[in-house]
C-alpha cells in the first residue's frame, strides 16, 4: 500500500504581539483569502484527501476548515504531533 502525503502550510497569521500565545494567532483576512485561492488550485489538480490532518494551532485549524469547505476532504483530525513541540516522528511510525 502506498500513501501520498501533501503538506499545506497555514495561511498568513495575525501578528504575534496581538495575542497572548503563538497558538492563538488566527489567519488574517489576506491569509484566509490566499488559502482559499490555494484550495481552488488544488481542486483543479484533481486532488481529494482522505484526511486533513492539522495541528491544534488556531491558524492551522482554520486552514484545514478552508480546505474542507473547498471539498478537498471530509474528515479533519487534530494532532498534537504537528504542534511546534509535537513529535511527528512517533506519529509517522
11: nearest Cα among 84, 78, 74, 67: 67
If residue 77 lies in a helix (H) or strand (E), which one and from where to where?
strand 76-78
- CATH match for 16-92 among 3.30.450.80, 3.40.228.10, 3.40.50.300, 3.40.50.1240: 3.40.50.1240
> What is the residue extent of each domain of the chain?
16-92
Alpha-carbon dihedral 40, 45, 46, 47, rounded to 10 degrees: -80
pTM of the complete model: 0.91
Mean pLDDT score across all residues of the chain? 94
The two beta strands, 76-78 and 52-54, are: parallel
Segments of the chain with pLDDT less than 70 = none
What is the model's pLDDT at position 31? 98
Amino acid at each position: 500500500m502506498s500513501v501520498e502525503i501533501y503538506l499545506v502550510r497555514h495561511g498568513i497569521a495575525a501578528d504575534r504581539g496581538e495575542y497572548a500565545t503563538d497558538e492563538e494567532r488566527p489567519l488574517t483576512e489576506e491569509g484566509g483569502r490566499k488559502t482559499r485561492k490555494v484550495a481552488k488550485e488544488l481542486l483543479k489538480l484533481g486532488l481529494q484527501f482522505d484526511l486533513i490532518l492539522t495541528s491544534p494551532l488556531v491558524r492551522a485549524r482554520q486552514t484545514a476548515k478552508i480546505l474542507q469547505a473547498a471539498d478537498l476532504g471530509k474528515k479533519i483530525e487534530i494532532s498534537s504531533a504537528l504542534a511546534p513541540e509535537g513529535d511527528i516522528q512517533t506519529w509517522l511510525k
